[in-house]
């Protein structure tokens, strides 16, 4: 192999050019932007201008006016009102008389926060472990690799559920750090842990390849300290891989949050997340299907946009598909 | 080679031991999942609770309890659930054929369609068919699997159940193959499709990317130069190399599916395989079946990871010299 | 006891009131026609019953099955409504002779009641002594009912030498129980399945999955049990009906399918594949089912109170004003809506089915403003509160409702839910110790003692398995409770219970009761003869299938 690393800083510009010409990438970026807009600035705007119910306003005994009639938000047999063209309860209400559309918007904030934060954590830790273990080699590499193997061998959902359940009752208390059991930090931490090996392994593989290259050997020979080499020479060259993974892991984590909520150990009830809206709505899917269908569609839309974008990123950095799934 | 295999086996055992310890520790840390209370039932006297703790060994130090659980699981085979005191291993044995029926059937479907879509995408790279199939494939993997199962169950067995198109679809449950092959299939159609739809996308992408990579390789160009038709080139040469990453990915995926993802599908359809047993055991904080199931799951994951690694080494001649 | 899969007791509504007689051959409760014999009932249950061992089972699913297969000295009359609360003799030839100021109960064992094969012999007094002692050896949840017997506590510790207070004489055919204190509800305890006869020699472990020790004395026996799969129940060939109160049964047998979810059950019952399900209809399906299958839906009322319990030892609920504020703040009608209208709102501790012990009071009309004021006066605005509940709908909706209301009146509430299977143990243990939690209670036996003594007597507070979750401990009231317990059943006793209900809600308010819940049942078109008994739930021997 020649002396220059396969993916250098210049490739970011080339990637951007390729990305700009990819209609799928542009489309998905626009959709993501719209979703972010709707959930963050859009949500309070809707509440203040369209209908004045917040996501937690319960209105069990309330009514809406349809065609001149007063229709109860929640009927006497507990069935909530369904979707309809109205400012309030656009997508209908849930069993507590809360506005589903508003909850979807605010729930999106939570799901996105959980997804993005846990993905950033995951990729950062994976970068750290991947670069460290590949660069240091020997014992360090062995220990880290075996530890990653352990996490990865644990069936994902069982591990996540086990951890989440363990933390759920009384929160986490490690020394000065105390996390309440209903805090969002718990699902965030749990979800970030389970996919670390998935990202760390390919990064480690990439760094192993890079390490053998002349420019690294030159840096070592020049007497640069290991931390400088890792930070300045290695890190930029795995940055593109990390970026691709980041996008894909956000997508995966949004799905994982939904799954954990469905199993009862995700975001706690009351504050909405897309996952916990499904968790509750699923039990009355027969009489109030919109409560299950709407958040699922929201998840799907967000995740497919992230996946299309991540895939386009991968194509843009690496059109000949040298970034493999296996490290 | 033998040394590598032995090394792997030792590694597998080490991982399983580590996982068993991790599960044990995690579940003994949880407050409120006190099995003595569960076993004591309502109105227990304090004496009652103390007695149960003693009889079941909960007053022993943790490492003794751990050793006892492992002994019951692997040697005496009489591990008992805290939730209802029924034996754990027969329940797992009963669940395995159901989970395998689900996983293997779905695997057949997702491999077939995954490869098909991937090849089409690769052949027509850049054209509209590629773009459309890409989005479809990615849409598939973007669906929350339990949601897909729940919604499809609702649509086909409740909302549109009257229509002759869907009336034959049963609303969950499982029929053993040996008892009624047709019933077995009809009960598994929706679960198969659910699991397949969320998996096809990965394979389509992998096949496509693999095809793109091999398309530009020298030996392909040589074959074309020699005058072989594109179709011939495709089937003879390209496809073979493309399938390598598919096989390795399948190894990882199948292990993960059988070991874990089924936990999200089986409860929706009431299949009562090991996935559902796992979901119930976690919900009940029932340590004995959970221990057995986690080890079973980890075993599958590690075995299939290993097989995938070995297949990769064996199939890809280039990696052998690397 | 608390709800869900636990033992639930039912008092049937007027629509179902039995014609009074339990003639053994036909009970015309429900749809018309004379009973016909034959047919196998297809039943569904969501999971394994807790146990099929009478010494260990403590849920309504288990008791429903065991009522059809086993018998004790006494039984609750196999009838619905108020009649079903009456204790009558079963294997005992008559009600016991009570002497010694209410401390000695003597029973005569009726000859000719047989244990099924392979034991194949008459039931003897020594079998009853054995069965009750066995409760202590297998760590049964029911031992609490029998610790009043002389020598029981020693036996619980030593497990040697038998219980001195139980004297069985096989030759005379009598068995005598000596109690350390008089207890007006001893007959009720003897009618629970814990006191059912098991043959001497039954091993000291759970025999649910040991076929040769699943011995029956009743019209049916359990012939097969595959956990997570099925329970097979067929006629017991050695059974001969011995009184009008022991019906023969019409069904040839029952096939119980394990693992049927409530939604599946609704679909399969509508299809006719399933005849009957152990649990009730999901509340949201009710309207449609009542419209489509009006003759197959039955609204059974039970002795139940559904409430929120507040921990008097934990801030901010350690202040009476705050607990009263919660009672003012909740709109009980809104909560009933969350339960699909399947219940009646209440502020009382005791349920309406308890006759004179139930005197409805209206201490806390819905008043958000008043609640806010109380919170401010108590100085607890902004206090962090976590509301606990389990995750079986509609409880999550109910606790979210409560949290929303608490936020409205000035607290900062979040919600935490647990799987129902671990919830009840968690709220009853000191490690769990919730501030405010969902709770519900269904009768173990039809008397107010089962509510007030079990859950509101400060003398019974323990660290684990605590039923007094509010930690209510008012010495004056504790004394009053103990006084009532020692009295014989009757109006004087009931008057004290009613008074306690009022006083506890006014001056202690450890609870915020909101509903007496109903559980509707949906059955197939061919099933008739449904009789709902308070303790044993639906009686299999009274059911019959039309063809």
pLDDT digits (tens, 9 = 90+) for C232-269: 999 999 999 988 777 889 999 999 999 888 888 998 89
Q: Do B41 and C56 touch (CB under 8 A)?
A: yes
Q: To the nearest whole angstrom, how far is the Cα of A164 from the nearest Cα of chain C?
A: 12
C544 strand-pairing partners = C528
CB-CB: which of C267, C465, C467 is closest to B49? Answer: C465
Interface test mutation site (partner C, options B43, B93, B95, B282, max chain C beta carbons within 10 A): B43
Domain residues for the domain of A160 are 12-32+104-317
- Whether A2 is in a domain gets the answer no
Using omega within 30 degrees of 0 as the cis cutoff, is the peptide bond preceding C118 cis? yes
Instruction: Give the count of domains, chain A.
Output: 1
Chain B: touching chains (3 or more CB pairs < 8 Å): A, C
pLDDT at B222 over 80: no
Lowest pLDDT segment from A115-119, B131-135, C184-188: B131-135
Sort strands C297-302 and C511-522 into parallel, antiparallel or unpaired. Answer: antiparallel
Q: Residue A42: inside a domain, yes or no?
A: no
The pLDDT, as a whole number, for residue C478 is 94
Average pLDDT, chain C: 88
Say yes or no to pLDDT of B321 above 80. Answer: no
Is C250 in contact with C38 (CB distance < 8 Å)? yes
Name chain A contacts of C413, Cβ cutoff 8 Å: 270
Distance CA B84, CA B266 (A): 21
- Band (pLDDT 50/70/90 cuts) for residue B233 is low
Q: DSSP states of B147-189 as a string? A: HHHHHHHHIIIIITTTSTTTTTS-SS----TTT-HHHHHHHHH
Q: Are strands C436-442 and C384-390 parallel, antiparallel or unpaired?
A: parallel
ipTM of the predicted structure? Answer: 0.87
State whether residue C339 sits within 8 Å of chain A by CB. yes
Size of interface B-C (CB pairs under 8 A): 129
- Do residue B84 and residue C418 have CB atoms under 8 angstroms apart? no
Whether A227 is covered by a domain: the verdict is yes
| pLDDT band for position B290 (cuts 50, 70, 90) | confident
Q: Which residues contact C218 (CB under 8 A, 6 or more apart)?
A: C67, C68, C69, C70, C71, C236, C239, C246, C541
> Length of chain B, please?
322
Is residue C337 predicted with pLDDT exceeding 50?
yes
> B253 to chain C nearest CA, in Å?
28
User: What is the number of CB-based contacts under 8 A between chain A and chain B?
Assistant: 149
State mean pLDDT over B287-299: 87
User: Is C334 in the A-facing interface, judged by CB distances under 8 Å?
Assistant: yes
Question: Given an 8 Å threshold on Cβ–Cβ distance, is C333 in contact with A61?
Answer: yes
Which residues in chain A are closer than 8 Å to B131, comparing Cβ atoms?
Answer: 23-24
**Residue among A285, A307, A320 whose CB faces B150 most closely:** A285
Taking CA atoms, A204 is separated from A200, A201, B46, B90, C432, in Å, by 6, 5, 55, 42, 44
- pLDDT over 60 at A325, yes or no: no
pLDDT of residue B232: 66
HEC profile for A4-68? CCCCCCHHHHHHHHHHHCCHHHHHHHHHHHHHHHHHCCHHHHHHHHCCCCCCCCCCCCCEEEECC
| CATH code (residue A203) | 1.10.3720.10
Q: What is the structure's pLDDT at C3?
A: 35
Residues C392/C339, Cβ–Cβ less than 8 Å: no
Confidence of residue B13 (pLDDT cuts 50, 70, 90): confident
| Residue A138 domain flag | yes
Q: Which of residues 76-105 of C touch A (CB under 8 A)?
A: none
**Overall average pLDDT of the A288-295 stretch:** 96
Is the pLDDT reported for residue B225 higher than 80?
A: no
pLDDT at C7: 25
Q: Is B315 on the interface with A (CB under 8 A)?
A: no
pTM: predicted TM-score of the whole model, two decimal places: 0.87
Residue A256 lies in a domain: yes
Nearest-angstrom CA–CA distance, C238 and C252: 14
The rounded distance, in Å, linking the Cα atoms of C73 and C94 is 9
Mean pLDDT of C128-132: 96
pLDDT digits (tens, 9 = 90+) for C511-539: 999 999 988 899 999 999 888 887 888 88
Please state, in angstroms and rounded to a whole number, the distance separating the CA atoms of residues C390 and C485: 32
A284/C284 CB distance under 8 A: yes
Q: Using a pLDDT cut of 90, give the percent of chain B over it.
A: 22
Q: Is A65 domain-assigned? A: no
Give C75's strand partners: C88
For the stretch C465-482, pLDDT in tens is: 788 999 999 999 999 999
- Give the Cα separation of B251 and B302 in Å (integer): 10
Q: Is residue A154 part of a domain?
A: yes
In a domain, A62, yes or no: no
Cross-chain residue pair C416–A56, CB shorter than 8 Å:
no
Those chains having 3 or more beta-carbon pairs within 8 angstroms of chain C are A, B
Q: What is the mean pLDDT of residues C186-200?
A: 94
CB contact under 8 A, C340 and A78: yes
Residues A325, B245 contacting (CB under 8 angstroms)? yes
pLDDT winner (highest mean) among A173-187, B17-31, B190-204: B190-204
- Least confident segment among A63-67, B47-51, B241-245: B241-245
Residue B33: is its pLDDT beyond 80? no
Could you tell me which chain C residue has the CA closest to the CA of B52?
Answer: C139
Distance separating alpha carbons of residues C212 and C223, to the nearest angstrom: 10
Reported confidence tier of residue B237, pLDDT bands at 50, 70, 90: low
Contact C465 B39 (CB under 8 A): no
Average pLDDT for B276-280: 90
- Calculate ∠ Cα C22-C25-C30, nearest 5°: 70
């Amino acid at each position: 192999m020649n002396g220059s690393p396969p993916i250098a800083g210049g490739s970011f510009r080339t990637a951007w050019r390729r990305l700009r010409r990819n209609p799928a990438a542009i489309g998905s970026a626009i959709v993501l932007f719209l979703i972010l807009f709707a959930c963050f600035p859009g949500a309070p705007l809707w509440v203040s201008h369209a209908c004045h119910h917040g996501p937690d306003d319960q209105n069990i005994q309330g009514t809406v006016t349809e065609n001149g009639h007063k229709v109860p938000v929640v009927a006497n047999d507990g069935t909530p009102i369904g979707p309809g063209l109205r400012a309030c309860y656009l997508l209908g209400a849930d069993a507590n008389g809360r506005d589903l559309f508003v909850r979807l918007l605010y729930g999106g904030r939570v799901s996105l926060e959980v997804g993005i934060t846990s993905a950033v954590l995951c990729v950062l830790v994976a970068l750290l472990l991947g670069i460290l273990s590949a660069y240091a080699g020997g014992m360090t590499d062995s220990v880290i690799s075996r530890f990653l193997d352990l996490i990865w061998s644990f069936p994902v959902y069982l591990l996540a559920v086990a951890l989440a359940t363990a933390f759920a009752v009384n929160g986490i208390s490690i020394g000065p750090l105390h996390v309440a059991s209903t805090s969002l930090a718990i699902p965030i931490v749990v979800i970030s842990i389970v996919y670390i090996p998935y990202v760390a392994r390919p990064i480690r593989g990439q760094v192993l390849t890079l390490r053998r290259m002349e420019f690294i050997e030159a840096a070592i020979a020049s007497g640069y300290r290991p931390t400088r080499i890792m930070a300045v020479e290695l890190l930029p060259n795995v940055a593109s891989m990390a970026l691709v993974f980041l996008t894909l892991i956000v997508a995966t984590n949004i799905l994982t949050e939904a799954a954990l909520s469905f199993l009862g150990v995700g975001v706690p009830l009351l504050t909405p997340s897309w996952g916990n809206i499904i968790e509750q709505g699923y039990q009355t899917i027969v009489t109030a299907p919109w409560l299950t269908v709407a958040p699922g569609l929201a998840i799907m839309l967000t995740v497919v946009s992230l996946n299309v974008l991540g895939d386009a990123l991968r194509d843009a950095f690496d059109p000949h598909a040298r970034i493999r799934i296996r490290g | 080679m033998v040394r590598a295999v032995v090394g792997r086996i030792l590694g597998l055992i080490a991982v399983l031991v580590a996982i068993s310890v991790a599960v044990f520790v995690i579940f003994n840390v949880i407050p409120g999942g006190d099995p003595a209370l569960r076993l004591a039932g309502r109105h227990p006297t304090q004496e009652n609770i103390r007695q149960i703790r003693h009889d079941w060994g909960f007053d022993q130090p943790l490492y003794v309890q751990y050793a006892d659980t492992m002994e019951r699981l692997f040697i005496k085979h009489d591990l008992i659930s805290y939730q209802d005191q029924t034996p754990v291993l027969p329940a797992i044995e009963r669940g395995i054929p159901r989970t395998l029926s689900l996983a293997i059937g779905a695997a057949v479907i997702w491999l077939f369609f995954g490869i098909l879509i991937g090849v089409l995408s690769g052949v027509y790279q850049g054209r509209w068919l590629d773009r459309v199939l890409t989005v479809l494939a990615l849409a598939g993997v973007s669906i929350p699997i339990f949601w897909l199962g729940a919604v499809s169950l609702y649509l086909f067995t409740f909302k549109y159940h009257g229509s002759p198109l869907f009336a034959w679809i049963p609303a969950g449950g499982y029929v053993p193959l040996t008892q009624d092959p047709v019933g077995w299939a009809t009960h598994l159609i929706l679960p198969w499709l659910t699991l397949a739809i969320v998996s096809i996308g990965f394979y389509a992408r992998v096949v496509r990317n693999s095809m793109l990579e091999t398309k530009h390789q020298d030996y392909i160009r040589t074959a074309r130069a020699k005058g072989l038709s594109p179709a011939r080139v495709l089937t003879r040469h390209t496809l073979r190399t493309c399938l390598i990453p598919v096989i390795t990915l399948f190894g990882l995926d199948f292990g993960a599916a059988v070991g874990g993802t089924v936990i999200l599908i089986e409860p929706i359809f009431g299949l009562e395989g090991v996935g559902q047993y796992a979901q119930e055991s976690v919900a009940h904080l029932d340590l004995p079946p959970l221990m057995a199931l986690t080890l079973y799951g980890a075993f599958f994951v590690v075995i299939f990871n290993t097989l995938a690694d070995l297949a990769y080494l064996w199939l890809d001649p280039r990696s052998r010299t690397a | 006891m608390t709800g869900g899969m636990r033992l639930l007791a039912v008092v049937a509504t007027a629509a179902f009131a039995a014609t009074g007689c339990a003639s053994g051959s036909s009970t015309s409760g429900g749809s018309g026609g004379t009973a016909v014999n034959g047919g196998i009932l297809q039943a569904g249950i969501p999971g394994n019953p807790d146990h099929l061992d009478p010494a260990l089972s403590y849920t309504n699913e288990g008791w429903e099955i065991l009522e059809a297969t086993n018998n004790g000295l006494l039984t609750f009359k196999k009838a619905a409504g108020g009649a079903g609360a009456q204790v009558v003799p079963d294997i005992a030839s008559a009600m016991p002779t009570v002497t010694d100021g209410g401390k000695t109960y003597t029973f005569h064992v009726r000859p000719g009641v047989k244990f099924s094969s392979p034991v194949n012999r008459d039931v003897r007094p020594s079998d009853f002594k054995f069965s009750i002692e066995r409760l202590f050896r297998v760590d049964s949840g029911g031992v609490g009912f029998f610790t009043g017997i002389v020598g029981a506590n020693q036996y619980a510790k030593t497990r040697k030498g038998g219980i001195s207070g139980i004297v069985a004489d096989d030759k005379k055919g009598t068995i005598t129980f000596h109690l350390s204190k008089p207890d007006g509800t001893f007959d009720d305890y003897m009618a629970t399945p814990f006191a059912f006869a098991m043959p001497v020699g039954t091993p000291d472990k759970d025999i649910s999955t040991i076929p040769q020790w699943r011995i029956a004395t009743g019209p049916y026996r359990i012939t097969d049990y595959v956990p997570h799969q099925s329970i097979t129940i067929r006629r017991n060939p050695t059974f001969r009906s011995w009184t009008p109160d022991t019906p023969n049964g019409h069904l040839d047998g029952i096939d119980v399918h394990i693992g049927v979810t409530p939604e599946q059950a609704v679909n399969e019952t509508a299809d006719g594949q399933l005849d009957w399900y152990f649990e009730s209809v999901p509340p949201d399906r009710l309207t449609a089912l009542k419209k489509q299958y009006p003759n197959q839906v039955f609204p059974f009322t039970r002795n139940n109170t559904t409430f929120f319990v507040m921990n008097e030892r934990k801030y901010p609920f350690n202040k009476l004003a705050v607990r009263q504020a919660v009672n003012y703040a909740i709109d009980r009608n809104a909560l009933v809506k969350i339960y699909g209208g399947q219940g009646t709102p209440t502020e009382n501790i005791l349920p309406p089915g308890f006759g004179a012990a139930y005197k409805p009071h209206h201490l806390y009309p819905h008043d958000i403003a008043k609640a806010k004021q109380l919170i401010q006066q108590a100085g607890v605005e902004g206090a962090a509160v976590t509301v606990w509940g389990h995750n079986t709908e509609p409880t999550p909706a109910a606790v979210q409702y409560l949290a929303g209301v608490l936020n409205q009146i000035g607290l900062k509430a979040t919600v935490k839910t647990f799987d129902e299977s671990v919830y009840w143990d968690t709220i009853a243990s000191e490690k769990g110790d919730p501030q405010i939690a969902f709770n519900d209670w269904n009768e173990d036996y039809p008397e107010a003692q089962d509510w007030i003594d079990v859950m509101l007597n400060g003398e019974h507070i323990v660290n684990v398995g605590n039923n007094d979750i509010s930690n209510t401990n008012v010495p004056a009231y504790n004394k009053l409770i103990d006084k009532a317990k020692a009295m014989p059943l009757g109006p004087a006793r009931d008057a004290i219970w009613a008074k306690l209900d009022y006083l506890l809600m006014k001056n202690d308010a450890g609870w915020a009761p909101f509903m007496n819940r109903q559980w509707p049942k949906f059955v197939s078109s061919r099933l008739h003869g449904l009789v709902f008994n308070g303790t044993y739930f639906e009686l299999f021997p009274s059911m019959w299938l039309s063809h």
